[in-house]
Structure 1
């Protein structure tokens, strides 16, 4: 039962995370990268702190220095660097394409699970990794006759792939942290408290670079749509998604998490076409299907 609930939590977490590309599109170019992240994290903390005040105090008292360092690394990779690369990349590539490219996350997470966590790899998992890589190459045009890498979008696409690598590092660190915390705390860690701590650390990391983006002047010039996007980014993409993530990763292994992280590109692609009206050609859909196939192959043994 724990395994099933863990998978449901992961589906919710990555589906919510997939909306980050869409929410970011409404504020990219209107606000600075670090301003967007800082404001969304502020909204996340405003939402979280009333819900977890007692749990947070207890968690901080029990938390070891090692747990704190792991949470700090998760904040750096999963929020600060991930959003930095994602928001920069969206300046140069479309939301649908960016969403699909985050589909590299399952393959990178699977590789890290093998190398860092020393989890064994089967033929199905290897096939899933190859499907994901092939899907990304098709999106880039490498495997399509008569087409090559798009010079116009290559920089943005590489930034999105860097974001996917940061997300994978976060996934791996979270799994290590979940195992270590269970041993150190002698009781289940609170997903609410973990989310609040990670959000607070990431907010502190964003404050200095955000100050150089003239945030007050830029925030004064945005409208209700942009504020709604920032609120969504904070409450749903950050707070609720991370609560679901921490609830799921303590119940599931790294390969299962890698499989379900494929929900990010699927959600992003569908919303980019439905909400933003972006067109997706056969090349993107074919690449997206391979990425999703890779998601299922990687996680087959854990399902």
Structure 2
């Protein structure tokens, strides 16, 4: 649980750093740049898969359909909606809408696993979403901008939910690698259609360094960490860490000297942190551990041993042993 939580937090903080890094490639065509980023990430992840000598997995038609849907929505679709939304709404409004990812995962994630959402997780997700909204600022935009932002939100949720049935079969490395590779031709086609043939140009040295960071760290490393945590934590609890994206953006912006942290940024970060901590707590669980039964007056404490996967005393084990009972054991 602890390592999965660290992995999820690291993944979302790394994704948050992309905001500041992307500012250095603002003049490069967006969709073509995303295609370069995912191509580099896919190459790295596939090399790791080969180096790890993982057992071969035969993909079924259902696996291929899920991978195609994941690449079309969670990767290519998300970028398309995001680019279109920026033409009708400000970054604050888009960040506020997409910041509701933890709440949606807390509600929808358990339903996909045929269980009820945990009330404390839903409450924690509300706190995280509120913190993300405060950090982003409640901006304004047109109805078209709101709809496009909601489309980006749906794609971001699909990025996690579509991966859940794939993770037990093919593992987090392949789930991170295959959709990244499949999204490259989709983004290249969208770039040619929307940005023109001139968008496919070689990046300048500074742009190449930024794309290397985005592809190797923000995509390859962060995707693997996220899917590994998603497999172990579940969509509802892992989704809480999605609220750390604006926190990562804030820390990177301040560290690189690109801006200052205002009161709303600090309050939002504190709310997100509080929501994550609240959501990871186990309600109704005694932190001191299970109470040991008191020994009868005058009885000698028995030595503890394990029987049937439970830790019980030797006296209790004797009483559980089948067979005729002596007067002392009776």
Please classify the TM superposition score into its range, dividing by the shorter chain length.
0.7 to 0.9
Gaps of 5+ in 1: 143-148, 182-188
Using the TM superposition, name which of 38-47 and 100-109 deviates more: 100-109
Partner Cα separation in structure 1 for residue 200 and residue 37 of structure 2? 15
Q: 1:246 to 1:56 in 2, by over 3 A?
A: farther
Could you tell me which of 104, 112, 116 is aligned with 1:108? 104
Which residue of the partner structure matches residue 77 of structure 1?
73
CA deviation string 1:189-247 (max 9, x = no partner):
34333322111111122121122323555634x53222211111111121111222232
How much has 1:110 moved relative to structure 2?
0.8
Partner Cα separation in structure 2 for residue 56 and residue 158 of structure 1? 44
Q: 1:126 to 1:240 in 2, by over 3 A?
A: closer
TM-score (norm 2): 0.71
Gaps of 5+ in 2: 286-330
Could you tell me which of 128, 151, 165 is aligned with 1:176? 165
Which residue of the partner structure matches residue 283 of structure 1?
264
Q: 1:86 to 1:193 in 2, by over 3 A?
A: same
State yes or no: 1:130 paired with 2:126: yes
2:247, 2:269 within 8 Å by CA — same for their partners in 1? yes
Structure with max Cα Rg: 2
1:138, 1:286 within 8 Å by CA — same for their partners in 2? yes
Q: 1:238 to 1:287 in 2, by over 3 A?
A: same
Partner Cα separation in structure 2 for residue 125 and residue 7 of structure 1? 15
1:262, 1:291 within 8 Å by CA — same for their partners in 2? yes
Q: 1:123 to 1:85 in 2, by over 3 A?
A: same
1:101, 1:136 within 8 Å by CA — same for their partners in 2? no
Could you tell me which of 193, 207, 211 is aligned with 2:188? 207
Partner Cα separation in structure 2 for residue 4 and residue 233 of structure 1? 26
2:192, 2:199 within 8 Å by CA — same for their partners in 1? no
How much has 1:40 moved relative to structure 2?
0.8
Could you tell me which of 28, 38, 41 is aligned with 2:38? 41
State yes or no: 1:267 paired with 2:248: yes
Aligned residues: 282
Which residue of the partner structure matches residue 49 of structure 2?
52
Q: Of the two structures, which has the highest relative contact order with CA contacts closer than 8 Å and spacing of 6 or more?
A: 1
Within-5 A mapping of 1:1-303: 3-28=1-26, 30-53=27-50, 59=56, 61-88=57-84, 93=90, 102-135=98-131, 138=134, 149-151=139-141, 162-179=151-168, 181=169, 189-212=170-193, 213-214=195-196, 216=198, 219-220=201-202, 222-275=203-256, 277-301=258-282
How much has 1:257 moved relative to structure 2?
0.9
SS at match of 1:267: helix
Partner Cα separation in structure 1 for residue 175 and residue 166 of structure 2? 11
Partner Cα separation in structure 2 for residue 87 and residue 278 of structure 1? 23
TM-score (norm 1): 0.77
1:13, 1:244 within 8 Å by CA — same for their partners in 2? yes
Across the aligned residues of Structure 1 and Structure 2, the Cα RMSD in angstroms comes to 3.4
